[in-house]
């Protein structure tokens, strides 16, 4: 037989190879589906990991903010008064700038369990000097009224 085949021969050959082709196509389709499933699973895993990492970062930020707030409170006159009262100190002394919130702060300290025994006020001067690019020197001065308060345990 020559290189040319009749339509019947071509159809017979196609019939013989058709099961092989459909099996290969089925295998390829299964491999493609498995690959897509692995890709989707990997994508879901990465998304879950990112979400978990984001939650951990948020929790860490919140913990840091709470720590900062706690430290700020501990250094405040009210925080210091609370710590001194919890230690059982007989006296507590603090100083703070006199401003609109001073009376509220003093009231809160007394509510903790202290009685204002004595107070004094003094003016604290501060100054600084700056030099600009032309070499001109400028001095600034400022004064702040500071109260010094002595409390006795009530």
Secondary structure letter of residue 99 according to DSSP? S
Written as six digits, the tokens of 26 are: 């089925």
Q: What is the pLDDT of residues 98-121, one digit of tens each?
A: 999 999 999 999 999 999 999 999
Write down the pLDDT at residue 6: 74
Q: Cβ–Cβ contacts within 10 Å for residue 110, how many?
A: 14
pTM greater than 0.85 (yes/no): no
H-helix segments, 1-154:
7-75, 77-87, 102-112
Sorted by where each begins, the domain ranges of the chain are: 7-75, 90-153
Percent of the chain clearing pLDDT 90 (strictly above): 55
Q: 20: exposed, middle or buried (C-beta count within 10 Å: 0-12, 13-18, 19+)?
A: exposed
């Amino acid at each position: 037989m020559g290189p040319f085949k009749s339509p019947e021969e071509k159809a017979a050959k196609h019939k013989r190879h058709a099961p092989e082709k459909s099996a290969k196509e089925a295998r390829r389709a299964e491999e493609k589906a498995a690959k897509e499933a692995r890709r989707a699973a990997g994508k879901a895993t990465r998304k879950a990991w990112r979400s978990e990492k984001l939650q951990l970062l948020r929790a860490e930020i919140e913990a840091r903010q709470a720590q900062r707030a706690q430290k700020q409170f501990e250094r405040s006159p009210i925080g210091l008064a609370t710590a001194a009262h919890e230690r059982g100190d007989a006296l507590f002394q603090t100083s703070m700038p006199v401003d609109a919130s001073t009376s509220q702060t003093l009231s809160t300290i007394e509510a903790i369990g202290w009685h204002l025994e004595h107070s004094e006020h003094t003016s604290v001067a501060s100054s600084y000097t700056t030099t600009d690019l032309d070499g001109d020197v400028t001095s600034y001065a400022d004064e702040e009224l500071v109260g010094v308060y002595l409390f006795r345990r009530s």
